[in-house]
Structure 1
C-alpha cells in the first residue's frame, strides 16, 4: 500500500475518534486506581487527585509509554501475515479500539475496576480470530501477558505485606513511633525517588535520547536524585512535619490519663471509693497508643501524596498503550504503507492518549475511585502508602520489560492483601468486603471474552461490508 492512501483515511479518522473515547474510558476506570487510596484515606480531595493526575499521567505516558505501546501494536500479533492486506489489519485495530472502549464504559457505569489491559488484549485476539483464526497470534507474548495477570496482583500484594510489616515493626510498634517515623522519612522519600528516576533513565525513550545512557550512569543519576531528595526532606520537610505534628504528641501523658479517668469515673476521691477494673484504667494507655498511630498516619499524609504521584506516573507509562497502541498501528500503516511498522511510537500520539485519560478521570473517575479507596477495605495513609508503593513498583518493572500488566490487578491485589492481613476486624464487619471483591473478580474474568466478542463482531461487519 502506498503511504497516505486515501482508501484507509476514513479508518484513520475514525480511529482517532474511537481511540480518544477509549482513552477517556481508561481514565475513567483505571486512572482512579492511582489515586483511589489517597482519596479514600482523606489525604487528597478528588479535585487535587485530578490535578496531580493531569501532570503525572501525561508525563508517564510520554516518558515510559513507548515500550508497552510497541508490544500492544505489534507484539501480540505476527503482523507480517497482513502484508498485502494492510486495510484488513487497519479494520482489526479499529475493531479492537471499539470493543475495548464499549466494555470499559459499561464497567465504569457499574463502578467496577476492570483491567484495561485485559480489554485491549481480548479485543486484539477477537479480531484476529475472525481475520486469520489462530494463525498470527504470538503464543509466547500472549502467554507472558496472561501469566502476568495472575502473578501481578499476588506479587504486588506480597510486596505490600513486606513494606507494611517493616513499617509496623520499626515505626508503628516501636517505643516512640513518631520519632521512628521522623528518622525513616528521608529514607522512604529517597527510595521512592530512586525507583522513579531509574525507571525513566534505564533503557529510556529513544524519542528523548535516553536509550544510550549506560546502566552505571542511570544508577548514578538515580542515586544522586535519591540523596538530594533525602537531604531536602531532612532539612526542610522534616522540620515542617515536626512543627505540624509534634504539638499534638507532646501533651503530658499522666495528665491525659488523669483527665480521661476523671471524665469516666469522676474526681480522684470518687475513684478511690469505686471498684474500677484494671481494664478500665488501662483504657487511657490504649488511647495513647491510638494517638501515636494517628500521628504516624499524619506523618504519612504528604508521603502518600508522593506515592500516589509515583503510581500515577507508572500507570501513565503502562496503560496509555491500551488506549493508543492500536491507533499507533493504524497511523503507521497510513504513513508508512506497511504493516511492519519500523518506527518508534510517536510521542504526539502518546501525549494524545495521556490527555484523553485525564479527561476521563475528571469527568467519570469518581465512580471507580470510591470502589478502590473506600468500599473494599478501610484505607489509612500508612497502608495507602504501602498499597501505592508496591503497585507502582510492580507496574514500573513490567513497563521496563515491555509487559502490559494490569495496574488494576496490582492495586486491587495490594488493597486486598493489606486489608486481609493487617485490617481491623470487627464482629459485625470483616476487614475486607469479600462480596465486592468477588464481583470484581467476576468482572475481571468476563472482560477478555466480552471485549473480544465485541471486537470480533465489529471485524466481521467491516469485512462483510468491504467485500
Structure 2
C-alpha cells in the first residue's frame, strides 16, 4: 500500500506540471486564433498567425523566467506570499506593457541587424520567425534548468544569429553587440556592488548600533525615501519616457519629489511599527516589508513596459513587413500585438513562474527584508546610472548580481564575526574546515547561472541560424 500511495503522489505531481503545459499550449492556440480572426483574410495572414503563435510562446517564457527577478527577493524575504506576488506581478506587468510599452521595439526589429541587408521582405520575415522561436526555446531550456537569464540577450542573440545566417556577418551591427557584451560584466558587478554597499550602510547605521530600534526610527524613513527617489526616477525613465520625452535630469527631479514625500509619509509609519519592537535584528524586518512590496510592484510595471518588446519586437516587424510598410521605419504596433505580449508574460508568470521565483528568492542565498531591500534598491540605481552612462544593462543580471553581492558580503561579515567570537546571531567558534564549508551563497547555483549568462547570446545566435535554415527548407 505504501508503494501504491507513492505512485499516486508522483502521478498527482506530474499531472500538475502537465496541466500548466496544457494551459500554456491553450494560450498559444488562442493567440494564433485571435490573430487569424484579425488578419486571416489579408495577404500573408498565415505567416502572421504563425508569428503570433511564436510570439505568444516567447512571451510565456519571458513571464516564466524574467519576472522572477522582480518578485523573488520579496517572496524570499517573506514580505509577500507566492500567490500575492503572482497576482501583483501579473497586474503590474500587464499594465506596464499596455500603458507604456509601445515604443521600445525598434531596436529589436532594426537595431541589431540592418533590415536593408536582407535580400527581400520574405527573407526578413523568415529571419524574425527564426529569432522568435529560437529565443523562446532557449529561455524555456534555461527556465527548466533553473537559470535566470537575460531575455533581452536571448532575443538579441536570436536576431544577430539569423542576420548573420541570412546576410552575412557584415549585416550585424557590431557596435551594438559590443555594448551588449560589455553589459554581461557591467550589469552584475554594478548590481552586486551597490547591493553590498547598501547592506553595509544598513549594518553600520542600524544593525551594529546598541539601540537598533532607535537607529531604525531615524534611518529607515531616509532609506525608504532613497528607494522612492530611485524608483520614481526609474519609472520616469523606463515608463513615462515611452509616453513623452523625459530627460535624466527631469526624471531625477520627479524621483526627488517622490522621495521627499515618501520620507515624510514614512516617518509616522516607522514610529508606529517601532513602538513595540524588541531591540533585535529580527524585529527590524517589519519596517522594510511595505517598501519591499511596493518596490516589487514598481519593478514589475517597469519590466512590463520595457521587456514586452522582447516578445513582440520581431512579431511587430513581421506585421509591418507583411502589410507592405517599409522596413526599418518607426513601428506602428497594433493593439492586438501588444495584448499578446502583455497577457503572455502574465500567463507565463502564473503558470511557470513560482519555481524560478523560489530559486531567486531563497536558494541562492537566504534573504530577509533588509537584504531584499538592498537588492531592489541596487536594481533601480543601477538602471539609472546605466541610463546616464548610455550603457545597455540587463535587469536580470542586475537583480541576480545584487543577490550574489548581498550573499558574499554576508559571508565576509559572518567570517569576521566568527573570528571575533559568538554574538547574538552568530554561532560559537568553529573549526577551520567547518568555517570553510559554511558558505552563505550556493556555489552550484552561482556556476549554473554564470554559465547560462555567458552562453545565452552565442547559443541563441547558433540556434536561430539553424532554425532559419530549417524554415527556408520548408
Same fold by TM-score greater than 0.5: yes
Over aligned residue pairs, what C-alpha RMSD do you find?
A: 2.7
Which whole-Å deviations, capped at 9, do the CAs of 1:65-100 have from their partners, x for residues lacking one?
455432222111111223x61121111111111001
Secondary structure (helix, strand or coil) at the match of 1:135 reads helix
Match of 1:71 in 2: 107
Question: Of the two structures, which has the highest relative contact order with CA contacts closer than 8 Å and spacing of 6 or more?
Answer: 1
Which whole-Å deviations, capped at 9, do the CAs of 1:372-401 have from their partners, x for residues lacking one?
111111111111110121123324555788
Secondary structure (helix, strand or coil) at the match of 1:365 reads helix
Give the 3 Å change call, closer, same or farther, for CA 223–359 of structure 1 in structure 2: same
Match of 1:451 in 2: 460
Shift of 1:309: 2.3
Match of 1:238 in 2: 270
Q: Following the alignment from structure 2 to structure 1, what is the Cα–Cα distance between the partners of residues 453 and 161?
A: 17
Q: Following the alignment from structure 1 to structure 2, what is the Cα–Cα distance between the partners of residues 200 and 388?
A: 13
Match of 1:124 in 2: 159
Give the 3 Å change call, closer, same or farther, for CA 129–303 of structure 1 in structure 2: same
Instruction: Determine which of 72, 94, 99 is the counterpart of 2:134.
Output: 99
Higher alpha-carbon deviation: 356-365 or 303-312: 303-312
Secondary structure (helix, strand or coil) at the match of 1:339 reads coil
Higher alpha-carbon deviation: 348-357 or 376-385: 348-357
**Is the counterpart of residue 331 in structure 1 residue 360 in structure 2?**
no
Instruction: Determine which of 412, 434, 437 is the counterpart of 2:443.
Output: 434
Q: Following the alignment from structure 1 to structure 2, what is the Cα–Cα distance between the partners of residues 308 and 383?
A: 14
Q: Is the 8 A contact 2:186 2:393 kept in 1?
A: no
Higher alpha-carbon deviation: 61-70 or 9-18: 61-70
**Is the counterpart of residue 247 in structure 1 residue 276 in structure 2?**
yes
Q: Following the alignment from structure 2 to structure 1, what is the Cα–Cα distance between the partners of residues 463 and 126?
A: 13
Which runs of structure 2 are paired with 1:11-90 in the superposition (5 Å)? Answer: 11-62=47-98, 65-66=101-102, 68-82=104-118, 85-90=120-125
Q: Is the 8 A contact 1:8 1:87 kept in 2?
A: no
Q: Is the 8 A contact 2:238 2:305 kept in 1?
A: no
Shift of 1:404: 5.2
Q: Following the alignment from structure 2 to structure 1, what is the Cα–Cα distance between the partners of residues 441 and 242?
A: 44
Q: Is the 8 A contact 2:213 2:277 kept in 1?
A: no
Shift of 1:218: 4.5
Secondary structure (helix, strand or coil) at the match of 2:280 reads helix
Higher alpha-carbon deviation: 222-231 or 99-108: 222-231
Q: Following the alignment from structure 2 to structure 1, what is the Cα–Cα distance between the partners of residues 88 and 107?
A: 27
Secondary structure (helix, strand or coil) at the match of 2:171 reads coil
Shift of 1:214: 6.8
Q: Following the alignment from structure 2 to structure 1, what is the Cα–Cα distance between the partners of residues 338 and 390?
A: 15
Which whole-Å deviations, capped at 9, do the CAs of 1:268-325 have from their partners, x for residues lacking one?
xxxxxxxxxxxxxxxxxxxxxxx52111222212222122223323332332222222
Instruction: Determine which of 261, 277, 283 is the counterpart of 1:228.
Output: 261
Q: Following the alignment from structure 1 to structure 2, what is the Cα–Cα distance between the partners of residues 111 and 185?
A: 34
Q: Following the alignment from structure 2 to structure 1, what is the Cα–Cα distance between the partners of residues 239 and 454?
A: 34
Q: Following the alignment from structure 1 to structure 2, what is the Cα–Cα distance between the partners of residues 375 and 50?
A: 19
Q: Following the alignment from structure 1 to structure 2, what is the Cα–Cα distance between the partners of residues 304 and 298?
A: 10
Match of 2:147 in 1: 112
Q: Following the alignment from structure 1 to structure 2, what is the Cα–Cα distance between the partners of residues 347 and 77?
A: 25
Q: Following the alignment from structure 1 to structure 2, what is the Cα–Cα distance between the partners of residues 359 and 9?
A: 25
Instruction: Determine which of 162, 185, 192 is the counterpart of 1:150.
Output: 185
Match of 1:369 in 2: 357
TM-score, with length taken from structure 1? 0.81
Give the 3 Å change call, closer, same or farther, for CA 44–136 of structure 1 in structure 2: same
Secondary structure (helix, strand or coil) at the match of 1:295 reads helix
Secondary structure (helix, strand or coil) at the match of 1:437 reads helix
TM-score, with length taken from structure 2? 0.80
Number of residues of Structure 1 aligned to a counterpart in Structure 2: 414
Which runs of structure 2 are paired with 1:47-446 in the superposition (5 Å)? Answer: 47-62=83-98, 65-66=101-102, 68-82=104-118, 85-202=120-237, 208=243, 210-211=244-245, 218-235=251-268, 237-242=269-274, 246-249=275-278, 292-343=280-331, 349-395=337-383, 398=386, 405-423=393-411, 424=414, 427=435, 428-446=437-455
Give the 3 Å change call, closer, same or farther, for CA 145–407 of structure 1 in structure 2: same
Q: Following the alignment from structure 2 to structure 1, what is the Cα–Cα distance between the partners of residues 237 and 295?
A: 20
Higher alpha-carbon deviation: 65-74 or 28-37: 65-74
Secondary structure (helix, strand or coil) at the match of 2:328 reads coil
Match of 1:269 in 2: none
Based on CA coordinates, which of the two structures has the bigger radius of gyration? 1
